[in-house]
Chain A
Amino acid sequence: MIRIFMISDRNNIIERFGSLCRENSYTFDSSSDIKIITELLEAEIQDIVLIDNESDSFVTKDILKNIKPFCENSILILLAGKKEVDKEIHKSINSIITEDFTDTLVLSVLNINLRAKNSLNKLADTNKDLAASLYRQNTLYGISSQFASSLNRERLIEFMIEGLDKTLSFSLACTLSFCSEEEPVLLLNSLYEISDELLNAIKVRVIYNYNSVFEGQEAPFKLDTDSLKVIKYVKYPANRFNFTLFRFDNMFAAITTGDTFYGCVEVFKENHFSTEDSKCFQTIVQQVSLPLKNAALYQEIIETNKKLERLEKLKSEFISIVSHELRTPLTSIKNSLDILLSGRCGEVTENAEKFLSMAKRNVTRLSGIINDLLDLSKIEAGKMDFQFKPVSVNTVIDYVKSALSGLAKEKSLELATDVNENLPEVMADSQRLEQVLTNLLSNAIKFTPEGKKITIRSELKNASEIKYHPCFEESMKNLIGDYVVVSVEDEGIGIAENEYSHAFDKFAQIENSLSRKAGGTGLGLPIAKQLLEAHNGAIWCDSIINKGSNFHFAIPVETISARQKETLSIS
């Protein structure tokens, strides 16, 4: 309906234009009272305002000034006669007609102006649409960069709601989020305050929506209205929604990557959502799901790492507990046995001594096992500390030989040495070298029958001169340059060729009943292997069954200077 308003005090003019308008189904009102005019114009936007320049009761210029604020979207047409129309009036109006215009002419002027206005309005609408779409694009772009910037799932959901608010200007958004740490949360982002009654209705609706996402299959999480946790954000808490909320327009979507469900969101708005709104809504909800998946994966990685750290801590705690809790009672047992055996508590009979010695031997063996286990777990956890210093290998040989000479004597074994007196010093932890050699020598003593001979050798060899069985290829192929090679040769039971490399496996003795009889933990050689690897060295063996075994280990000579620097810079 086209609205035409006339400002005039001349009744004949008002009648003429009034009937002309009504004939053409335009609504027509008129007045010359400035107060009524402004009131009417304020209440209703007019398509055309006709101003009669010949009226006596007002001055056109004043009228124009007064109605200007209400006529921005109206066409102003001046009905001119004898009175002068100055420049100022010309500027303010769109068209001029005169009284002598025929009705047809007047109508055509009105229609031309109406058509022009229509076109302008359309153009303005298009402009508005363009601006809105540009704004939306910008917002969407902003949201996607926000999505890319966070790996926190709760934050991502917040970004999504923020984005929906910017693009859709919803009245209420109900987001059921499964992205919080503990349990699902219902996030309500609302323009106005929500009554308890309405809140309950919302909860029922959200749970219904949630269950409907799974299309009759059982939902992964059982939700009920009483326990559902709600977080509310209200923009204008002074106002309150009434129950008509559900007559608002609404849109619903699930936040999911197909295989994982992160939640669902429903938005309400008093006005209608446009097709553009719907597209925008879908886009934003879809866009958030992938970052949510990434965030979940990231969370998983963090948790796995935490678990690993805990395990690592447990492991070192275990080492320290074992070292204290097991050794302390062993110390007491050993001390008691020592006191009894020493005769400080009175004479020890032959039988008593036999059994006390048996007990002591086994305590010593047990503490040996504990030490071996501790060493191995320390090396494997990278917690073993090495004190690298220049070491003379021959000194180590002398020390170990004299330490074990008693044991060899018990079995009437001959301990011989064949050492190269001109060996260079090597960079090593002398205690650990002693440990390795003690192990090899005590093994040799263990496995060599009484009255036979054991020989310890030291040589300087280039890696290319070292011969070894192919089964040691893996650990030997990396040797480059000069090495001090120490060998312990016995005349014992020997090792079969196919058992060579297994000799360095943990608990290898367990499978070999013959050697188990000889005692030991089966950890000595694996420990020796690890210790030598920490020295960039190697250990290997060869043997002839029933003739004897020959165990060798090599420590590099060349790296001395590099290691020395390293140690110096550490200290």
Chain B
Amino acid sequence: MKNILIVDDEQDIVESLKFVLETAGFNCYTAFDGEEGLRLAKEIIPDLIILDVMMPKINGYKISRLLKYDSKYKNIPILMITARSQEEDKLIGEETGADEYITKPFDLDDVLKQVENYLGKQN
């Protein structure tokens, strides 16, 4: 079973993402702040990470950069969630190595499609 790590300080968003992804056959780990997210990522080495940008302690950009510059984790696809839709944010995201960008409010089915693009359909 493919493992997905969801990192977002909004519990409700984590919950809905987790529900949809688990229904689609993925195994989900969750973290509610950047610090916990980074710790979990290194511990479980998931197959994909869904990462919010604005979080307490460590923000999403930093986590993404830390993981992408480490050969152990750099191949993990990162889907970055942001409330901003500014082009400049996307540019920063590219620099930090995020693979995809999802702008709030997002469509759950779109996220599922993106995840399946990377990990393939389950079941």
Contact = CB atoms under 8 A, between A and B. Distances in A.
Interface residue tally on A, bucketed by range = 20 to 34
| Secondary structure call for the A interface | helix
B83 A339 contact: no
Interface in B90-118: 104-109
Interface stretch (A83-91, A128-136, A328-336, A547-555): A328-336
Contacts of A336: 12, 16
Contact of B19 (A320, A330, A339, A363): A339
B112 to A, nearest CB: 10
Interface string B26-55: 000000000000000000000000000010
A205 to B, nearest CB: 62
A513 to B, nearest CB: 29
A323 B83 contact: yes
A342 B87 CA distance: 32
Nearest to B19: A339
B19 A331 contact: no
A471 to B, nearest CB: 34
Contacts of B105: 327, 330-331, 334, 363, 367
A324 B83 contact: yes
A410 interface: no
Given A324-B54, A328-B104, A331-B105, A339 B20 contact: yes
Interface string A335-368: 1101100101000000000000000000100010
B108 A327 contact: no
Contacts of B10: 328, 331-332
Contact of B84 (A323, A334, A338, A387): A323
Contacts of B54: 324
> Lowest 5 A-B CB distances belong to which pairs?
A335-B16, A332-B12, A331-B105, A324-B83, A327-B104
Given A344-B23, A385-B86, 20 more contacts: A323-B83, A323-B84, A324-B83, A327-B83, A327-B104, A327-B105, A328-B10, A330-B105, A331-B104, A332-B10, A335-B12, A335-B16, A335-B108, A336-B12, A338-B107, A339-B16, A342-B108, A344-B19, A344-B20, A363-B105
Interface of A: 320, 323-324, 327-332, 334-336, 338-339, 342, 344, 363, 367, 385, 387
5 contacts: A324-B84, A328-B10, A335-B16, A339-B19, A344-B23
